[in-house]
Homo-oligomer: A and B are copies of this chain.
């Protein structure tokens, strides 16, 4: 109703930052997104996920998985306990991250081409 003659500035800028920072809190770090990708792509077992992500260590993976589970971005299910069978799966919530992942993917591809082309 009311007209806001002003273009977006300080307040919008800050609001933008706050939400973005929330998002970054969750998905920032070297591994979280990669783990999400792996799980969304269908990897379920610990070693499977580990192998799918170059250079990740089991310690880091365990820690990040726990973190992601806490935030309900993945679901951990224990199926057995003789040789211990655990499965990690995506949740609706983790699927909602897809847009972010896609955006990162697109931009990253573009960026890669740019640096490949240019300097060095």
A interface residues with partner B (beta carbon < 8 Å): 7-10, 12-14, 16-24, 26, 28-30, 33-34, 37-38, 41-43, 52-54, 93, 96-97, 99-112, 114
CA distance A103 to B18 in the complex (A): 14
Considering the complex, give the chain B residue whose CB is closest to the CB of A22. B108
A33 to B106, CA, bound (A): 16
Residues A24 and B104 in contact, CB atoms below 8 Å apart: yes
How far is B109's CA from A18's CA once the two chains are assembled, in angstroms? 9
Residue of A7, A19, A30, A96 with highest tally of chain B CB at under 10 A: A19
Residues of B within 8 A of A114 (CB): 93
Contact of A96 among B10, B43, B105, B110 (CB under 8 A): B110
